[in-house]
Every structure is written in structure tokens, then in C-alpha cells.
Amino acid sequence: MDKQRTKHAVWSWEATGAFCCFVGGIGAALLGSVLTAITWVVGAQLHPWLRGSGTALLIITIPLLIFSGYCMDWMERDRNNPAKERAGEREQGRTLN
């Protein structure tokens, strides 16, 4: 017996990766901004690692958001791909008949 499985889009790894990277990117931007602001108030001499950590978090925000967008595009491409394949098979069936 041939069983067909449906892919639940909410629990796919593409959606999970996109969500985690998006939340991580926003969180990194917020935390990096807070740490950088603390170095302005407290002074970089007292806690030199605050400035480095804040800058690193602000820098890592961009790749996380880019990867989030890539995962969302990948999820949409996989969702639309089977429909295009079926349409292509129908087109080939029409030309052969």
C-alpha cells in the first residue's frame, strides 16, 4: 500500500531555522545595543569586555537576519516546487498525446 506523507510546514527545519535566526538576530541587536550603551555610561576602562561583546553582538546581527531570510526563501521554494513539477508533467502529457 502506497502511503503519502504530508509535510507540516510549521515544524519543518527551514521554518524553525528562520524563526531561531530571526529571534537571535533581534536579540543580538538589542543586547549589543544595551552593552554598547553601558560602555558609554560606565566607561570602557572599567569593563573593556563590554565594548567588545556589544560590538560582536551588533556585527553578528546581520548574518543571522540574512540566514533567516534564506531559510524563509528555502521554505517557500520547497512549498512551491511540487506544484510546478506536477504542472510540468501535465504539460508534457498534453504534448505527447
Q: Report the pLDDT value the prediction gives residue 96, as an integer from 0 to 100.
A: 56
φ, ψ (nearest 5 deg) of residue 14: -65, -45
Give the pLDDT confidence of 18-52 residue by residue, as tens digits.
899 999 999 999 999 999 998 888 887 877 888 88
Q: Report the pLDDT value the prediction gives residue 3, as an integer from 0 to 100.
A: 67
Residue with more model confidence, 9 or 45 = 45
For residue 56, pLDDT over 90 is answered with yes
For residue 87, pLDDT over 70 is answered with no
Helices of type H across 1-97: 13-42, 48-96
